[in-house]
Amino acid sequence: MYKSTNTDFHGESEASNLKSAKANFPRARKHARRGDDAELLVLASEIRAARAQSGLTQAQLALVSGVGRDTVIALENGRPGVSLGGALRVMKGLGLSLRPPVASP
């Protein structure tokens, strides 16, 4: 019986190519990376807490908000690059809003 193996034009298997690529570039999964801006991490924490309080999964929140799950994940990880519109839709889906900073007396 013929057994198919996935090999590239050099005769190397896909599995060995993938293993060597991972060994050469050890990185966290894209969704697992966190931002490093303190203010974004505070916002991320508030969004995650509000989602948990509401009992929604990331996928459910994305559906309710009209954004992709990757947007919710990026917001919850405090990563920059999420559009303001996307962030506002997620916040609205959770009943949150932007508050202007309160001036100190």
Going from N- to C-terminal start, the domains of the chain cover: 35-93
The per-residue pLDDT for range 56-68, each reduced to its tens digit, is 999 999 999 999 9
> Partners of 7 in the beta sheet?
13
Q: C-alpha distances in angstroms, 5 versus 13, 45, 89?
A: 7, 46, 46
What fold, for 35-93?
434 Repressor (Amino-terminal Domain) (1.10.260)
| Amino acid at position 100, single letter | P
**For residue range 13-40, what is the model confidence (pLDDT) as tens digits?**
555 555 554 555 555 555 567 777 889 9
Question: pTM score, two decimals?
Answer: 0.65
